[in-house]
Structure 1
Amino acid sequence: MTVAKERISRRAVDKFAQRREQLAESALQALADLGYARTSLREIAQKSGFSHGVLHYYFADKVELLTYAVRKFEKVCVTRYDDVVADAGSADELKRGFGAAMAGTLRSDAAMHRLWYDLRNQSLFEDSFRADVLDIDAQRQDMVWRVVERYAEFAGQPPLVSPEVAYATFDGLFHRALLHQLSGQQAAAEGLAADVEELLARLV
């Protein structure tokens, strides 16, 4: 293959990837608004400005598009608390920062978190994206565990629970707060921050 043909081929690949990114952004909005079960490729196409045929050209089906879109969102999510860990100079700073960060994402990204829980629930019935859900869940667990380990270092004590238990507990608090936030409870985020701080202190 000549250099010119290689460049043309590379541009075609880049354009294909860019279009998938655009479609994924539109899909995330549609899926976050309507949920997995109520969203079709046609509805996503209407929101994206692309035709149904174009959407189907870039993604084989809704499952592929959904998984791609959620993974795109999760790239940000799974490092959300790393700056909190890096910037904290004490156990108290880390505790407050972690609580504030969880409260912040509850306020700003509630629809996207709702989509994640929808996807995770759907994976109990559809094995086509179960592996992706398990992988994302494992990354989220690692993210939370980095916070717990750092807090334990500040406290000079080992964690009292396993990574699995720590993640499940924080996830349970967040899931409950998300339901309250979506129900219009104004104090949901503040309550989550306080609960997260208390829980982190009890895990070490």
Structure 2
Amino acid sequence: MTTATRPDARSGLRGPDKFAARRRELATATLVTLAELGYARTSLREIAQNSAFSHGVLHYYFRDKLDLVAEAVRIFEDMCVTRYDEAVATSTTAEQLRHEFSTMFVATLRSDSALHRLWYDLRNQTRYEASLRDEVSEIESRRTDMIWKVVSRYCELRGEPARVSRHLVYLTLDGIFQQGLDRLLDGSDPELTHARALLDEAFDAI
């Protein structure tokens, strides 16, 4: 048994639970490498060369790079979907919630840009890889719920109903987020000034 497989022996898990736990451990450990390399430039062998795990170990737990990337993005999204919960729970005015949300919106673009890029890479692949569509659809649904939780609370604090649907809200804010990410990465808007302005415009329209 290699060093990379030892945590399973100590975990006390059995069968499918043990296998799933190991997949999650490996995907978490390779998440940064995946984000740095990006979808198009990765293979299980390249990921192994840039991580502490052998190609054989990765290939045993993941059928291909799509399987590994999907698991890694799912783990990242598990953290993301609760990002704004505290702001929703603690904000006492609509303006406070709007400010907190906007601050975190821009902050995660900066701090997790490589990981967000990986998500959009994966989402784009659903046009070619039917096997990924269910996973990506599930993540999209959770992201939609996350954004709607903020917007519905914002409207509640304003004492007015939302003027747009939950799906239109998500598509609008996701579009701002993706364009902001692209402009941050290509250096055309390093301060995310355009993204901030569009976010303010979107909230005014809501």
1:95 matches 2:98: yes
The 2-side partners of 1:108 and 1:39 are apart by 22
TM-score by length of 2: 0.87
Runs (4+) off by over 3 Å: 12-19
From 150, 168, 171, the equivalent of 1:168 is 171
1:22–1:48 distance in 2 versus 1, CA, 3 Å: farther
Q: Which has the higher contact order (CA 8 A, sep 6+)?
A: 1
**Does residue 125 in structure 1 map to residue 128 in structure 2?**
yes
Equivalence map 1:1-204=2 (5 Å): 11-13=12-14, 16-184=19-187, 185-188=189-192, 190-203=193-206
AA at the equivalent of 1:132: E
- Counterpart of 2:170, as a letter, is Y
Comparing 104-113 with 29-38, greater Cα deviation is found at 29-38
Q: What is the percentage of aligned positions where both structures have the same residue?
A: 50
Which runs of 5 or more residues in structure 2 are unaligned? 1-8
CA deviations over 1:21-59 (Å, ceiling 9, x no partner): 332123322221222122000011112211111111122
**1:26·1:47 contact (CA, 8 Å) conserved in 2?**
no
C-alpha deviation, 1:18, in angstroms: 4.8
Per the normalisation by structure 1, the TM-score is 0.88
C-alpha distance 169-86 of structure 1, shift in aligned 2 (>3 A): same
Coordinate RMSD, CA, aligned: 1.9
Structure 1 residues 15, 46: closer, same or farther in 2, change over 3 A? farther
The farther-off stretch of 140-149 and 18-27 is: 18-27
| Cα distance in 2 between the residues matched to 1:164 and 1:15 | 37
- Secondary structure of the residue aligned to 2:201 is helix
CA deviations 1:121-165 (Å, max 9, x no partner) are 101111011110011001001100011100110111111111110
**In the comparison of the two structures, how many residue pairs are matched?**
195
CA shift, 1:12, in A, is 4.6
Pairwise CA distance, 1:94:
0.7
Greater mean deviation of Cα atoms: 119-128 or 55-64: 55-64
Which residues of structure 1 form unaligned runs of 5+? 1-7
